[in-house]
Structure 1
């Protein structure tokens, strides 16, 4: 999948070392193309108040596009 800049994406897997979990919502802010490797994306992830909680560079296979069926969920972050 090729994600456009500033598109919303949903994280598909848990990355607890980064404080990120499946179903977290983010915005693509940069694409990384390296010949012979999967395209990577710099993603900013936000809380429900619009504060950035993480910035991560992730392979496209860790992400999916958001759909009309998606609803925000809440995870308590300590």
Structure 2
């Protein structure tokens, strides 16, 4: 894993389920805004077809950087 700080436009991995948003731990999103030097992040989650599923504000502990040896896994969303 990278020790670099998470920046805008970085992909991230969700580390907890967010049932109200239809998101699960392991889902990949993209940072669209960094709050207070990385204390929190605005993250967009999209389908592979480009449809936005959710845009959520997350504390730093609810996500992690994507690792260099990880691959995406597909699942359908409601």
Distance 2:70 2:50 in 1: 18
Give the equivalent residue in structure 2 for 1:5. Answer: 8
Give the equivalent residue in structure 2 for 1:14. Answer: 17
| Aligned length in residues | 75
Q: CA deviation at 1:68?
A: 2.3
TM-score by length of 2: 0.83
Give the equivalent residue in structure 2 for 1:50. Answer: 50
Please identify runs of 4+ aligned residues in structure 1 that moved more than 3 A. none
SS of the residue corresponding to residue 7 of structure 2 reads coil
SS of the residue corresponding to residue 76 of structure 1 reads coil
TM-score by length of 1: 0.83
Please provide the CA RMSD for this pair.
1.9
Distance 2:75 2:24 in 1: 9
Q: CA deviation at 1:28?
A: 0.6
Q: Which runs of 5+ in 1 are unaligned?
A: none
SS of the residue corresponding to residue 73 of structure 2 reads coil
Q: CA deviation at 1:50?
A: 2.3
